[in-house]
Amino acid sequence: MNKLFECKNLSKDFGGLTAVNKFSFDIEEGEIVSLIGPNGAGKTTFFNLVTGLYPPSSGMIMFKGEDLIGLSPYEITQLGIARTFQAVRLFPDMTILENAMVGQHCRSKSGVLGAILRPRSYQKEEERIRNNAKEQLAFFGSRLMGFRLDQPAASLSYANRRRLEIARAMSTEAKLLLLDEPAAGMNPKETIEIAHLIGKLRDERGFTILVIEHDMRVVKDVSDRVVAMDYGGKIAEGTYEQVATDEHVIEAYLGRTGIEEQDNAN
Amino acid sequence: MTDSNAAQMIIERKHATRTMLIGIYSGLVALFICLIGMVETFGERDIIGGIISMGHTMLIIIAIGSGAIAVKTLREDMSTPGATINKTSFVVEIFVGVTAGLIVGATLSLFVFATELVDMRSVLINVSPGLLEMLTLQKPASQVMVTMTVLGSLLGGIGAAIFNIAPRIRLPLVLGLTSIVSLGMLRDMLKIVLTREGWPSVLLNFLVKNQGLSIAGGTTIFATTVALVIIWPHLPVIYDKTVRIIIAYVPKVLQFSVGIIFAITLTMRVFWFIAISDKDLPILPACQTADNSPDVGLDKCISIVSNDISTTTDLLGTNLATLVSTIITVSEMLIGTFILLCVIFAIWNIRQRVNTTNIKSTLEDPNNALLIIAKRNISAFFGVSLLVSLPILLGVFPSEVLLNVGLYMLMGFGLNIVVGMAGLLDLGYVAFFAVGAYSTALLTSPRASIELGMSFWAALPIVVLITGATGLLVGAPVLRMRGDYLAIVTLGFGEIARFLFLSDWFKPWLGGAQGIILIPPVSIGNIQLIGPHKLYYLIITGCLIALFISARLRESRVGRAWMAMSEDEQVAETMGINTVYYKLLAFGLGAMIASLSGAVFAAKLGTIFPHSFNVLVSITALSLLIVGGIGSLPGIIVGALVLVGLPELLREFTEYRLLIYGAVLIFMMLSRPEGLIPRVRQTRKLDDQELNQDAWLHDETEANNGPSVTVT
Ligand SMILES: Nc1ncnc2c1ncn2[C@@H]1O[C@H](COP(=O)(O)OP(=O)(O)OP(=O)(O)O)[C@@H](O)[C@H]1O
Ligand SMILES: [Mg+2]
């Protein structure tokens, strides 16, 4: 078996609520997989389990043949999984360049003594970190470059913050990128662009990508495979067309909407 | 009456209420500082001898302030969107100021009147005849009531008027008055410094008159400040020109030799001061604690001091000493002349622009690399020489103040790593200071239980390591805590540390309440650093090292990790930062720097007790960070000078120190939450945020042609 990523019977309980329920699936190297599902289906929770923010209640997660359970988030990042957050979480007071440079942290070594004495090796590493960060930022054209490099992240527009978050994840030199709703809050033009960029991330930069997305146009454009989730479990898997026409999926979306409408009516 | 008129009435009523409230609050503040005895205590110190005391000045400032604040609030109210009236007139503003001031005056006069009727003294002990005398200027209360009220309105009016003067005039005026008040407050210090040898006695007699400044002195200070404020904006230009001229005209060899002579002179001066000069017989710190420990008698202290002097004078023969002092004086005069000539030439050069045609390109090129380096070097040179000559110029007592400032500054740098960089709110920082001091004492004092009697320098690395380890020990259990919880727990740790030092349990080793005595002074070769004016050099070295380390760490991989962690711990961890490691690192490094401060503290006092290490030390260290601006390195320096230096200079302060701390902190939180000298980045964020969003929208339409707006 040559799966890049694999999880089996993964579950997470929050008190009485089972947010992720015996969820199993895998990703092959070089794939772009979309994870869809109605609100509260447990998609973000699944990301949190994979990146080590929550310990799973049961099940197993393997990445590049290594067991991720019990590892700290930073160790998981070191192994090659990086993510973005549904509600953008940058380091607002740090500059754009610094935000991207932080991503390189797990690929560099220098410590306190190096920082104080600044030997050649330190300077070289610092230079490398800086160049790498700039390279990632340049992926998004000139929007994060030039004078913006030294501006605090909080000064960016919303769409640019999302881009910077992706750049930061790219800087970690990860193998697998987990993108949590990268197109949320973007205008139609920007959404098309993001879909295009996700393809480029795989084709040009060689990332394997798992993306949570609500915008079905994006899902349709980018995904090799789509996994649908509801009540923490997997309800469908396959190509976009297969999943989009799956009756469980339609029911999950419509059913939930139906309940909402009822709620609104009350 | 039309609708708009009705609205106007309501708004005016709102403003009137606001103004009265400001007046009442100010009046209450004035009353409060009277009742707690501050006015009377400060009244004993004259600003201008025989004319106005500091107590009066405080009341005057409150009255003027009430007027100014009332006008400021009025303007702010009117500039808020949706305000019906958005313009005031001069008359209205003066009226508002007068009203506020009037209420202040009335409040105080009512108080004076009330004291006539009832005897408040039995309840409020500070309502003394002295206070009343100050308020009424020895006239019957009924007479002064009107005068006080009128005076209050006048002052309030002045406050309002100040708001209406052009800033060009207002700034020099306000700063000039401020400098009179500050120098008047520092009169004792001025006396101490100016009576030292080397300062002309004329200056002292001219400036100071028995209780305060003389009138002529006050005027001179005012004039000097005004002149300085006016010249100030031109100074960078003059400096720039001077440096350019030095580069362009002065041969390299001469530049170099002046630099060398300067350095040698300075070194000799300092050496002379530390090792040979015995003019400044220090009040030996060990002697101060003589009462507490029967072993160290005053005679013993004196013998230590005289020993110190005899060995050091023996070091160089008298003839040599005379020679050295002559060399120093002559070379200082030469360098002084050289610099003066350069400055004069520069000023002349600025005036005669015609001449610039034949000056080499160095004089014009704005980004000359040589120029930038030269400027940096020269600034560093002057900075260092100023730092180094402070104790020589000021003498023992002011050096003591500087030493204390230095001790706290060093702690501030350490705490900044923990709080400012890593974002861990530590309220028990005193524990590390204490561990540093105690381990120094334990290792160096021959009287300590383990009787090692090591030298300060041999002990220092061990002290740093021990304290660093303590930092890890304290850090480990609180790793999972954040924010407020962390603050409370570390606060507890700080107190626990003190109780451990006090406890019977450790008494055999740490001496319980008696502490550890006979900690030997620091010595370098044959020279013993006894007295604050000598220890100053030690602490300043420590501060410079800590500053260097902090500055370098901040701009490094480690600093970025800390900053990321302080902004969002979870995300930092997800981006590959081992937060456990970096938290422990911050605690460990912070503790190490505090231990340096503790070590100097122990060597300074010669005896240490657990009581020196109370929670106030932590609070002061944290307050100076807040006042200076969290995370800002220059802020730490300014914070330490303001929060530690000023109270030491004004001995009246000690009683009210905490009150003033609290007031300063609240004031800072309200009006400048980012601190006196905020980190550059933070201000930039506020200024450019909108600009940036717009720039980005702009770009969108222009299709990626690069940024069209440049921000400097
Ligand atoms: N830390 C937590 N504690 C308790 N319950 C949680 C926690 N995190 C998530 N949940 C619950 O788990 C369920 C799944 O949430 P999750 O955020 O994974 O949904 P999602 O699929 O990402 O939805 P959305 O599309 O709205 O982002 C929700 O019912 C949520 O309330
Ligand atoms: Mg989600």
Domain residue limits, chain B: 3-232, 237-392, 396-614
Cβ–ligand 1 distance for A232 under 6 Å, the answer no
State the Cα–Cα distance between residues B20 and B30, nearest whole angstrom: 15
**3-class DSSP state for residue B636?**
helix
Q: Looking at the domain assignment, is residue A87 inside a domain? A: no
Q: Looking at the domain assignment, is residue A115 inside a domain? A: yes
Question: Do residues A180 and A149 both lie within one domain?
Answer: no
Ligand 1, atom 7: closest residue by C-alpha: A14
Using CB atoms, pick whichever of A82, A93, A111 lies closest to residue B558: A111
Tell me which of B215 and B437 has the higher pLDDT: B437
Neighbouring C-beta atoms of residue B686, cutoff 10 Å: 13
Q: How far does B416 lie from chain A, in Å, by closest CA? A: 16
Question: Do residues A52 and A165 both lie within one domain?
Answer: no
With CA atoms as reference, the chain A residue closest to B571 would be: A89
- Across the beta sheet with A32-36, the strand order is A81-83, A176-180, A208-212, A32-36, A225-230, A233-238
Q: Looking at the domain assignment, is residue A86 inside a domain? A: no
Angle formed at CA B89 by CA B85 and CA B90, multiple of 5 degrees? 150
Least confident of B6-20, B412-426, B510-524: B6-20
Q: Looking at the domain assignment, is residue A85 inside a domain? A: no
Among A171, A200, A220, residue at a domain's last position: A171
Q: How far is CA A265 from CA A258, A259, A260, in A?
A: 11, 10, 8
Question: Do residues A226 and A183 both lie within one domain?
Answer: yes
Tell me the ligand closest to A180's alpha carbon: 2
Tell me the ligand closest to A49's alpha carbon: 1
Using CB atoms, pick whichever of A53, A107, A169 lies closest to residue B570: A53
For the entire predicted model, the pTM comes to: 0.84
Tell me the ligand closest to A37's alpha carbon: 1
Q: Which residues of B touch A (CB under 8 A)?
A: 548-549, 552-553, 556-561, 563-564, 567-568, 570-580, 585, 589, 681-682, 684-685, 688-689, 692-693, 696-697, 699, 704-707, 710-711
State the Cα–Cα distance between residues B436 and B600, nearest whole angstrom: 9
Contacts of A170 in chain B (CB under 8 A): none
Among A171, A204, A232, residue at a domain's last position: A171
Instruction: Specify the pLDDT at position B548.
Output: 94
Question: Do residues A178 and A167 both lie within one domain?
Answer: no
Question: Please, what is the average pLDDT of chain A?
Answer: 90
Cβ–ligand 1 distance for A55 under 6 Å, the answer no
Question: Do residues A201 and A162 both lie within one domain?
Answer: no
**Interchain pair B696, A111: CB under 8 A:** no
Q: What is the DSSP annotation of B289-344? A: TTTT-TTS-HHHHHHHHHHHHHHHHHHS-HHHHHHHHHHHHHHHHHHHHHHHHHHH
Between the two ends of chain B, the Cα-to-Cα distance in Å is 53
A52: region left, alpha or beta (phi > 0 left; psi from -120 to 50 alpha): left
Question: Do residues A259 and A190 both lie within one domain?
Answer: yes
pLDDT digits (tens, 9 = 90+) for B627-655: 888 888 999 999 999 888 888 777 666 77
Instruction: Specify the pLDDT at position B674.
Output: 78
Using CB atoms, pick whichever of A73, A82, A152 lies closest to residue B573: A73
pLDDT digits (tens, 9 = 90+) for A92-113: 989 999 999 999 999 999 999 9
pLDDT band for B187, please (50, 70, 90 cuts).
confident
Mutate one of B472, B574, B592, B710 to test the A interface: name it (highest A CB count within 10 A). B574
State the Cα–Cα distance between residues B480 and B472, nearest whole angstrom: 14
Question: Do residues A74 and A178 both lie within one domain?
Answer: yes
With CA atoms as reference, the chain A residue closest to B706 would be: A142
Question: Please, what is the average pLDDT of chain B?
Answer: 79
Tell me which of B406 and B302 has the higher pLDDT: B406
Contacts of A54 in chain B (CB under 8 A): none
**Interchain pair A115, B699: CB under 8 A:** no
Q: Looking at the domain assignment, is residue A180 inside a domain? A: yes
Instruction: Specify the pLDDT at position A256.
Output: 57
Cα B546 to middle of ligand 1, angstroms: 46
Question: Do residues A165 and A181 both lie within one domain?
Answer: no
Domain extent for A159: 92-171
Angle formed at CA A160 by CA A158 and CA A162, multiple of 5 degrees? 75
Among A171, A202, A235, residue at a domain's last position: A171
Q: How many domains does the structure of chain A reveal?
A: 2
Tell me which of A47 and B266 has the higher pLDDT: A47
Residues 6+ apart with CB under 8 A from B563: A91, A93, A94, A98, B421, B423
Q: Is the dihedral of CA B15, B19, B22, B24 positive or negative?
A: negative
Q: Looking at the domain assignment, is residue A251 inside a domain? A: yes
Do the Cβ atoms of A26 and A208 come closer than 8 Å?
no
Question: Do residues A135 and A154 both lie within one domain?
Answer: yes
Mean pLDDT of B659-685: 73
Q: Label each residue of B393-407 as H, E or C.
A: HHCHHHHHHHHHHHH
Work out whether strand B208-209 and strand A32-36 pair parallel, antiparallel, or are unpaired. unpaired
Cβ–ligand 1 distance for A99 under 6 Å, the answer no
Cβ–ligand 1 distance for A37 under 6 Å, the answer yes
Contacts of A92 in chain B (CB under 8 A): 567
**Interchain pair A105, B576: CB under 8 A:** yes
pLDDT digits (tens, 9 = 90+) for B517-549: 888 888 887 777 888 888 999 999 999 999 999
Question: Do residues A12 and A39 both lie within one domain?
Answer: yes
Residues 6+ apart with CB under 8 A from B61: none
DSSP letter at B354 equals G
Angle formed at CA B368 by CA B255 and CA A129, multiple of 5 degrees? 115
Over pLDDT 70: what percentage of chain A? 95
Question: Do residues A162 and A231 both lie within one domain?
Answer: no
Contacts of A163 in chain B (CB under 8 A): none
pLDDT digits (tens, 9 = 90+) for B158-179: 999 888 888 888 888 889 998 9
Neighbouring C-beta atoms of residue B708, cutoff 10 Å: 10
pLDDT band for B364, please (50, 70, 90 cuts).
low
Q: Looking at the domain assignment, is residue A249 inside a domain? A: yes
Mutate one of B549, B557, B577, B705 to test the A interface: name it (highest A CB count within 10 A). B557
Question: Do residues A179 and A76 both lie within one domain?
Answer: yes
The residues placing their C-beta within 5 Å of ligand 2, an ion, are A 44, 86
Q: Looking at the domain assignment, is residue A134 inside a domain? A: yes
CATH no. for residue A192? 3.40.50.300
Do the Cβ atoms of A77 and B577 come closer than 8 Å?
no
Angle formed at CA B39 by CA B134 and CA B213, multiple of 5 degrees? 75
Which H/E stretch holds residue A227? Answer: strand A225-230
Instruction: Specify the pLDDT at position A258.
Output: 46
Contacts of B711 in chain A (CB under 8 A): 147, 151
Chain position carrying tokens 């005896």: B607
DSSP letter at B280 equals S
pLDDT digits (tens, 9 = 90+) for A200-253: 999 999 999 999 998 888 999 899 999 999 999 999 999 999 998 888 888 888
